[in-house]
Amino acid sequence: MATQNKLWAGMAKETAHQIGTPLSSLIGWVEILKTEDIDPSITLEIEKDIERLQTITDRFSKIGSVPVLEEHDITAETLHTYEYLQSRFSKQVTFSYHGTKEPILVMINPTLHSWTIENLVKNAIDAMKGKGSLDLQIEQDANHVKINVKDSGTGISKNQYKSIFEPGFTTKKRGWGLGLSLTKRIVEEYHGGKIKVLHSEIGKGTTFQILLNKKVQ
Ligand SMILES: Nc1ncnc2c1ncn2[C@@H]1O[C@H](COP(=O)(O)OP(=O)(O)OP(=O)(O)O)[C@@H](O)[C@H]1O
Ligand SMILES: [Mg+2]
């Protein structure tokens, strides 16, 4: 198992590394394009795509290394990712937010945290077949912050609550079954928190919950 993990981590790192070279050259090309008489909205779109590729390679390069954890405002980091996803998905999915806008400090790696939110949101949207509602909730008590991602999708039966977190478990035609196992690993092993299905009802929807420890002041 350990060897296999190392192999996966190595492949992830190597992929990130290999994408890095053409990516830096693309960044250079865009700078050149910007000096030409070209519609700026075009170069802006290319820049957005480049930024997205940088996020992806950054994530892959972090797999398997001991990530650097720093003090970050979990509310702002989570909302930033959520709003980005909202802008990318169809208007058929209604995104809402219920919770604090206050800063809450947690020791995380923001690149990895954003990946966990993205995996949960993507699964939620898949589960509602592209149409429905999604609600993000952030609550806190004295020591913890709870991030709930609630969807109006197909639901998950109780006997699958455990298996969905196993690598390779998927019910999708084009799924890899990697999203939740990776999310669990990031939340539990890297960020020292917990993830679970908080509630689910067949035909009604599901709520996933990430629980993290607040930074001791
Ligand atoms: N919000 C949800 N509602 C209903 N079922 C879900 C939800 N999230 C996950 N699942 C179930 O758990 C399975 C595993 O999810 P996971 O994200 O690990 O893999 P995947 O989405 O199938 O593929 P990948 O994420 O690798 O593209 C899904 O195939 C689906 O059956
Ligand atoms: Mg998934």
Q: What is the pLDDT of residues 135-149, one digit of tens each?
A: 999 999 999 999 999
Q: Domain boundaries in the chain?
A: 2-62, 70-213
Kindly report which listed range (56-70, 89-103, 128-142) carries the lowest average pLDDT score: 56-70
Best residue among 170, 174, 204, 209 to mutate for probing ligand 1's pocket (most ligand atoms within 8 Å of CB) is 170
pLDDT of residue 1: 56
Q: What number of helices (H) and strands (E) belong to the chain?
A: 5, 7
User: 206 alpha carbon to ligand 2 midpoint, in Å?
Assistant: 14
CATH topology of domain 70-213: Heat Shock Protein 90 (3.30.565)
pLDDT of residue 200: 98
Query: What would the pLDDT profile of 102-154 be if each residue is shown by its tens digit?
Result: 999 999 999 999 999 999 999 999 999 889 999 999 999 999 999 999 999 99
Phi, psi dihedral angles at 140 (to 5 degrees): -140, 150
Residue predicted with more confidence, 66 or 191: 191
Query: Do 159 and 149 form a contact (C-beta atoms < 8 A)?
Result: no
Amino acid, res. 191: H
Query: Which residues sit with their C-beta closer than 6 Å to ligand 1?
Result: 119, 123-124, 127, 151, 153-154, 156, 164, 169-172, 175-181, 206
